[in-house]
Structure 1
Amino acid sequence: MIYEERDYRIKAGKLGEFVKIYGEHGLPLQKEHLGNFIAYFTTEIGELNHVVALWSYQSLDERTAKRKTMLADPRWQDYLKRVDGLIDIQNTRILNPVSYSPLQ
């Protein structure tokens, strides 16, 4: 099992708008295509205007195949147009749990 952490810094003053659009349009499509949604967070203390999403996959190959299908979906392209201009920076990391992690 691998975990994907996506950290988006949203432009100042746009966090609420981004979270609303994602919840209504992005997340339903991602759940349909990607499957194992773990969590979604916003920051409260520290560097603000961030959202962090966690997804899990059996392998990098599974992740690649599922994301390829999602990116080809015209509804996903419509979602991307809705959030255009709201994201400042995106970072993506693949995380591997250690043997004693409660998430395997």
Structure 2
Amino acid sequence: MLAFRSGLVRVLASRARAPQVCTSFATGPRQNDGTFYEFRTYYLKPSKTNEFLENFKKNVHLRTAHSELVGYWSVEFGGRMNKVFHIWKYDNFAHRTAVRKALAKDKEWQEQFLLPNLAHIDKQESEITYLVPWCKIEKPEKEGVYELATFQMKPGGPALWGDAFKRAINAHVDLGYAKLVGVFHTEYGLLNRVHVLWWNATADSRAAGRHQSHEDPRIVAAVRESVNYLASQQNMLLIPMSFSPLK
């Protein structure tokens, strides 16, 4: 019995000394800031895409009167065509609820945009994401093209793969291969998913930078560590609309 108690004491003591598992993905400013970003994707009918976008351009001010539009893009490569992707910013969930209620009562928005265009949308998707604490949205200084890289990580959450992922992203940023706009961690949608929004001057400059980075041993080492936790990845080339705040 004495030996058992002695062993138990040693086990409890070792647990007390063990470091707490934490990651900069899940701790820090995000815990004190309710701000989140809604990723919305509309799949449009091919014959109605231009009409839909022209209508939105004409009436975008009616929608942005209620909440902040971060960016609005058409998908050029990497997914179904005739698809638009947009990001909206909210202070918290109460803010979003209030905005949705206000829109439902906004006759001008309903009559001039929503009702005429509902028939032009085949499908829509929505995700709620948080900007990771070690990143803030950086607005490019000039117009260009955007790339949304979506990483589906293995189950386990940021405590498992967050730090390795951060090192892989920062390696690209620090070495100047692309401009980082923002890193977003999904809260509602597929879990263990991270979206990384990049900016490049042109699609060709993006391709050149990507080829160079693949030959850079510093990038290769950082990515190799993160890839151990990767389940799948999808990249989309995005073209900003003329009314998009991010261009």
The answer to whether TM tops 0.5 is yes
Q: Equivalent residues in 2 for 1:1-104 (5 A)? A: 1-25=35-59, 27-34=60-67, 36-46=68-78, 47-78=80-111, 79-103=113-137
Shift >4 Å, 4+ stretches:
none
1:99 Cα deviation from its structure 2 partner: 1.1
Q: Structure 1 stretches of 5 or more lacking a match?
A: none
- Are the counterparts in 1 of residues 103 and 110 from structure 2 also a CA contact under 8 Å? no
Cα separation, 2, equivalents of 1:7 and 1:41: 10
The residue identity in structure 2 corresponding to 1:10 is L
Cα separation, 1, equivalents of 2:131 and 2:50: 31
Cα separation, 2, equivalents of 1:95 and 1:101: 13
The residue identity in structure 2 corresponding to 1:21 is N
Cα separation, 2, equivalents of 1:71 and 1:94: 20
Superposed CA offset, 1:30-85 (max 9, x none): 11112x11000001113211111111111011111112112111112202222131
User: What's the RMSD between the two structures over aligned residues?
Assistant: 1.4
The residue identity in structure 2 corresponding to 1:13 is S
Instruction: Report the identity percentage.
Output: 30
Aligned residues: 102
